[in-house]
Amino acid sequence: MRVLATGGAGFIGSFLCERLIERGDDVVCLDNFNSYYDPRIKRLNIVTVSRHPNYRLVEGDILDKKLLQDLFKNTHFDAIVHLAARAGVRPSIQQPHLYQKVNVEGTLNLLEMSSQFQVSKFIFASSSSVYGKNSKVPFSEDDSVDCPISPYASTKRAGELLAYTYFYLYSISVTCLRFFTVYGPRQRPDMAIYTFTRLISEEKEIPFFGNGTSRRDYTYITDIVDGIENAIDRCKGYHIYNLGESQTIELKHLVRLLENALGKNAKIKSLPDQPGDVPVTYADIQKAKAELDFYPKVSIQKGIEKFIEWYVQESDSRV
C-alpha cells in the first residue's frame, strides 16, 4: 500500500512513517518543516527512516495547490493520513487566522485531492479538544461537540465535518481519530510533559495553571500509532474514534511522576487557569476497542519512565 503522511516529520508522523515502512508500505511524507518549534528537531525525527528506499520526503506546504496537483498527478496513494496542522490550544487564541488557514483550508485541499485522484481512504488527525468543557466523563463519540472553546478545537471539528461531506459526496472512506494528549520520545517541545521535564531538570520554576486538579488522559505514542495503523487497514465508511488510554491523571500527580523519574523536585509557580484549557479529558474507548482493536498497552507510569529515559539521552547527546 502507498500512504501519504502529511506532517510526517512531526512527533506523531515520524513514528507512524517508521511503523508503515517496517511493515512494508511505501510512504511519502509531506511536511513544510515550519518553525512552530525548531525545525531541526523534525529533521532529526526522520534521519533513520529517510534512508529507506520505500520512503520519500516531499518538502512542501499543504496550502500549495500546485505542489499538491503535481504530487497527486505523479503518484497514486491508497491512503492519506492527514496529520499536518498547527497544533496547540493556547497559540491558536493568538493566531486564529493561521490555524483556520492551515487546519481547515489545508484539510480541504487534501480532501479535494482525494476526490480528484481517487484516494479511497482518508484518516484525519482530530483531537480530544473538540469535546470542549464536556462535563460527562468519559467522553464518548456520541457526545455533543458543538461547543469547542479554542480556535484550534473549532478547526479540528471543522475538519471532521468537511471530511464527512467528502465521504458523502465522493464515497471516500474517512476515519477521524480524536487523539487524547499524546506523549513519548520526540514529543513536541511546547507540550506540558516536555516543558515541565526541561524546567525541572534545569531547576527552574514550572508554570502551574490552576490548582493542579485538572485531569488529562495521556496516551503513549506507540499506542497511538497502533490505533492509526489499524484505522488505515479498517477504514471503511465514515467513523470517528477516540484514541486515549482511558485513564486520567491530575496535573499535580503528573508532576510527581516527573519528579520521581528525574530525581529532582519541581519549583512550582502558581498561575490562573488559561483561557481555552479544559478541566478534564477522558476517553471512552469502547468503540475503538470493538472496531479498531485498540487496546492501549503503556501505562502513564511506564510511559513517563520511557520518556524521561529518552529525554536524558537526548540532553546528554546535545552537551
Ligand X SMILES: NC(=O)c1ccc[n+]([C@@H]2O[C@H](COP(=O)([O-])OP(=O)(O)OC[C@H]3O[C@@H](n4cnc5c(N)ncnc54)[C@H](O)[C@@H]3O)[C@@H](O)[C@H]2O)c1
The catalytic position among 131, 152, 166, 194 is 152
Q: Which residues contact 4 (CB under 8 A, 6 or more apart)?
A: 28, 30, 71, 75, 77, 79, 80, 81, 119
Which of 25, 30, 53 has the alpha carbon at shortest distance from 42? 30
Q: Which of residues 91-120 bind ligand X (CB under 6 A)?
A: 102, 106
For ligand X, give the closer residue by CB, 106 or 238.
106
Cβ neighbours, 10 Å, residue 142: 9
Backbone angles phi, psi at 150, to 5 degrees: -145, 155
**CB contact at 8 A, 244 and 281:** yes
- Residue from 87, 123, 145, 193 touching ligand X (CB under 6 A): that is 87
166 is catalytic: no
Ranked by CB distance to ligand X, the top (closest) residue is 10
- Residue from 43, 56, 61, 306 touching ligand X (CB under 6 A): that is 61
216 binds ligand X (CB under 6 A): no
For ligand X, give the closer residue by CB, 26 or 160.
160
**Which residues partner with 124 through β-bridges?**
82, 176
182 binds ligand X (CB under 6 A): yes
**Which residues partner with 2 through β-bridges?**
26
Contact region with ligand X (CB under 6 A), list: 72-80, 133-141, 162-170, 180-188 = 180-188
- Residue from 27, 28, 57, 188 touching ligand X (CB under 6 A): that is 188
Q: SS3 of 233, please? A: helix
Site string for ligand X, 14-43 (x = CB under 6 A): ----------------xxxxx-x-----x-
**CB contact at 8 A, 253 and 214:** no
Q: How far is the CB of 203 from ligand X (least distance, A)?
A: 27
- Residue from 29, 57, 84, 153 touching ligand X (CB under 6 A): that is 84
- Residue from 27, 49, 81, 85 touching ligand X (CB under 6 A): that is 85
**H or E segment at 242?**
strand 238-243
**CB contact at 8 A, 125 and 12:** yes
Grid cell, residue 224, equals 497511538
- Residue from 114, 127, 154, 214 touching ligand X (CB under 6 A): that is 127
Strands (E), 182-237: 182-183, 205-209, 215-216, 219-220
Binding residues for ligand X, how many (CB under 6 A)?
29
Q: Which residues are catalytic, by number? A: 152
Q: Could you list the residues that contact ligand X (CB under 6 A)?
A: 6-7, 9-13, 30-34, 36, 42, 61-63, 83-85, 87, 102, 106, 125, 127, 179, 181-182, 188
